[in-house]
């Protein structure tokens, strides 16, 4: 590797080695439920409105996210900063994209998510649309467990090593070129070791949960969500080395776009994009907080993969 005159990256994200916990249960049935809806799907709005009526009739306080366009006076609504305050569960009507948005609203308050799938695949959802009534009754009765999924903590650094932005992702952080049709070289570092310089369109850093998403589309492997690991998947690599790197959750990754002539950014679950300063880099590590998912029964990950991809 050629010598560099810019500062050597520092460990900007602390790493705590934490084993994946098993399912847990709420101490008592929920009293307050939030609703997040794919506003572009009329069926999602209809199911959510019916859920609000059922939950309210059962004596629960129901809160809608104001960004979903709830009709005035239909129920209590709250903005992104206060939506999850006081909630015990969030029910999500939509596909995986809607659930990722709900995760962004609920993670920091530790509120578990129950996904009702109205999308094409729905890897993250627990229930299908036709099962909504049964799923809601299980919520009302507190008959469910909660599973935790690891997240990624993402720190964007400038050329001097100062933090320019910080955020997180449940599925993946994708470091991408901002200039179309221009090759970019990404320097990849694991811990204090420079691993490789990868010419590619992008580099995806994904969790096991995200291994069935964008990383899978880039021919990355499928990982069990019981694992604690981080995938690094090159997108359309222009080199003979085109393999996915899997590192332990306690190992920090650093990705530096090595081309001052092109701008780059990091996309987080497709919901947020952070620009990378010139000669800056991105540090990725295991997130400090997990996303909590409601389970109505025993979760069979391999059956779900088989069914969603039509494997027989």
Count of other CB atoms within 10 angstroms of residue 156 = 23
Strand partners, 294: 146
The position carrying tokens 């999924």 is 149
Active-site positions read 96
Tokens of 80: 């992104």
Comparing C-alpha atoms, which of 235, 250, 170, 236 is closest to residue 206? Answer: 170
Comparing C-alpha atoms, which of 133, 50, 38, 34 is closest to residue 90? Answer: 34
How far is Cα 228 from Cα 150, in angstroms, rounded to an integer?
Answer: 7
The position carrying tokens 């910080």 is 166
* SS3 (DSSP) at 47: helix
Q: What is the DSSP secondary-structure string of 197-244? A: EEEESEEEEE-TGGGGTHHHHTTPPP--TTS-EEEEEEES-SSS--PP
Q: What is the DSSP secondary-structure string of 106-156? A: HGGGT--EEEEE-SSS-TT-SEEGGGHHHHHHHHHHT--EEEEE--EEEEE
For residue 216, CA distances in Å to 41, 69, 273 come to 26, 33, 20
């Amino acid at each position: 590797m050629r010598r560099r005159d810019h500062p050597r990256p520092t460990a900007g994200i602390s790493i705590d080695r934490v084993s994946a916990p098993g399912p847990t249960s709420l101490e008592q049935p929920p009293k307050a439920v939030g609703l997040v809806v794919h506003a572009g799907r009329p069926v999602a709005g209809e199911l959510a409105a019916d859920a609000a009526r059922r939950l309210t009739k059962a004596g629960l306080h129901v809160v809608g996210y104001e960004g979903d366009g709830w009709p005035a006076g239909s129920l209590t609504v709250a903005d992104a900063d206060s939506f999850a305050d006081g909630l015990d569960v969030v029910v999500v009507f939509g596909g995986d994209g809607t659930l990722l948005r709900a995760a962004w609203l609920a993670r920091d308050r530790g509120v578990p998510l129950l996904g009702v799938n109205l999308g094409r695949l729905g890897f993250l959802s627990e229930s299908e649309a036709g099962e909504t009534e049964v799923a809601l009754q299980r919520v009302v009765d507190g008959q469910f467990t909660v599973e935790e999924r690891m997240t990624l903590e993402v720190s964007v650094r400038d050329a001097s090593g100062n933090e320019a932005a910080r955020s997180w992702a449940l599925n993946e952080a994708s470091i991408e070129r901002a200039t179309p049709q221009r090759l970019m070289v990404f320097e990849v570092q694991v811990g204090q070791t420079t691993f490789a310089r990868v010419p590619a369109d992008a580099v995806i850093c994904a969790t096991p949960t995200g291994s069935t998403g964008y990383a899978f589309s880039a021919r990355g492997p499928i990982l069990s969500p019981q694992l604690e690991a981080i995938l690094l998947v090159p997108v359309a690599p222009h080199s003979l080395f085109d393999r996915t790197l899997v590192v332990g959750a306690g190992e920090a990754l650093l990705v530096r776009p090595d081309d001052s002539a092109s701008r780059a950014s990091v996309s987080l679950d497709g919901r947020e994009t952070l620009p990378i300063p010139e000669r800056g880099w991105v540090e990725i590590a295991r997130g400090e907080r997990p996303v909590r998912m409601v389970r109505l029964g025993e979760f069979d990950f391999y059956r779900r993969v088989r069914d969603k991809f039509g494997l027989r």
